[in-house]
Amino acid sequence: ISEFSSRLPQYLASSLAILALSLVLICSDLPKTGVLLLIVWLGDRSSIEVLLARPEGIAFLALSGAFVVLVRRQSLPHWLVAFLAGLCTSLAAGFHPRACVFVLGAFVFLAVDIGLSAFRRFIPFFVLGVAIPVSLILWCAVPVSRAVPDIRAALTQLAWHAHLGKTSNFVHLREGFTGYRWSCPWVWAVGLATAAVTCAAFARRKPLHRVALAATCFAFCGLITFLTSLTMFPPYLVYLSVWPVIAVMAQIESGSPQRRFYRVIAAVLLVAWFPSMGWNLLRTREAYKFHSALSTAHLAGELALTVPPEAPLMVSGDLYIAARCSVRKPFIVRQASSPSDWPCDAWLAVTTAAVVPWNVAQLPGRVVRVSNENLFPGYPYSPKLTILTPCQNFH
């Protein structure tokens, strides 16, 4: 599987999600909001985070399906709305467990909108919608040699992965999301906008527009998802950023009596959007400028020229995908290992960017064949490549 084939489904899914949201807004007599959403997405930090081959793009598409159902709930039977809302939100949670907040959010939204006494008749349909993705997840988790899935092991792995981040969300809050660079104001703006529209929804004297009400519910769920993500990595912004924008613009375009309040929020979002748009353009420019310079052809050529075709090869983790494109199947030099654990007949290809607890110059019995050569010759920030021979008694 190539990097391109890993990134493409997420990009297409997120693009389809934005298109579906725009179309449902236009069909809900909010054409300006639908068009503005397409423009806002270009400057939203989320639009480049869906290119990282993570599950956010597909999860966002499933959440968009749930949002469309809730917006069009007046024209659909209640049992079908409950079923589709449970199906889409739990499907999103299946692709990314952090999205499970939206399942509860959709349930509460329907219970309040329809009325709890009337909604009781449709709870089985909602549960049925949730049960279908859950059943698929359990079916996929069943190993060939077992009759039931190893849920305990799966939860252990999930807990381990959830605590990989070394920086907590409180540290990100204290530091002001500096890791987001120019998109930092946008993160604060969508977070504050979500808090503002949620408070306005609870304190309202007149009912919100049906689109704004659904968007406010999803914005609140997205904020909880983002704040409880432990690391607040940029990809988690996908679950948050578009919903407060839809809520604010829908209230303005629908002629809400509180238009002045929502226009102030829209102005804050607009000011924060420009630097985020600039950061997206800069990232796009860098990708275009260095696309050819970041080709792995140079590494493949060095390996073909230096390492015998049938010889075993060990590489640092950052070279694995690039080395795998060659004719050989590489093995990874793990950080916790030591030179005594490596096969003496294996060649080594490592970079200075790899965090390893050993010094290349101190490896016993190996000779440096390629020394500190640029891995990407046309890239100014290229890591250095070093290739070492097997131990001398095997070489």
* Band of residue 43 on the pLDDT scale cut at 50, 70, 90: very high
Whether 228 has a pLDDT exceeding 70, the answer reads yes
* Band of residue 143 on the pLDDT scale cut at 50, 70, 90: low
- The 10s digit of each residue's pLDDT in 345-370 is 888 888 876 655 566 555 667 888 88
Tell me the C-alpha distance between 269 and 39, whole Å. Answer: 13
* Band of residue 395 on the pLDDT scale cut at 50, 70, 90: very low
- Within 28-150, where are the H helices? 31-43, 46-49, 56-71, 78-95, 100-114, 116-119, 123-141
What average pLDDT does range 10-34 have in this prediction?
95
Per cent of the chain over pLDDT 70 is 86
* Band of residue 193 on the pLDDT scale cut at 50, 70, 90: very high
Tell me the C-alpha distance between 114 and 105, whole Å. Answer: 14
Taking 3-state DSSP, the helix, strand and coil percentages for the chain, each rounded to the nearest 5, stand at 65, 5, 30
Characterise 177 by phi-psi region: left (phi > 0), alpha (psi -120 to 50), beta (else): left
Tell me the C-alpha distance between 184 and 199, whole Å. Answer: 23
- The 10s digit of each residue's pLDDT in 50-89 is 988 888 999 999 999 999 999 998 889 999 999 999 999 9
Predicted pLDDT at 6: 85
Q: Kindly report the backbone phi and psi dihedral angles of residue 386, in degrees, each rounded to the nearest multiple of 5, phi listed first.
A: -130, 130
How far from chain centre, in Å, is Cα 297? 29
The answer to whether the predicted template modeling score (pTM) of the entire model surpasses 0.85 is no
Range with the largest mean pLDDT of 116-125, 169-178, 245-254, 295-304: 245-254
What average pLDDT does range 302-310 have in this prediction?
85
* Band of residue 179 on the pLDDT scale cut at 50, 70, 90: confident
Tell me the C-alpha distance between 16 and 64, whole Å. Answer: 9
Predicted pLDDT at 140: 73
* Band of residue 5 on the pLDDT scale cut at 50, 70, 90: confident
The DSSP H or E segment spanning 174 is helix 169-175
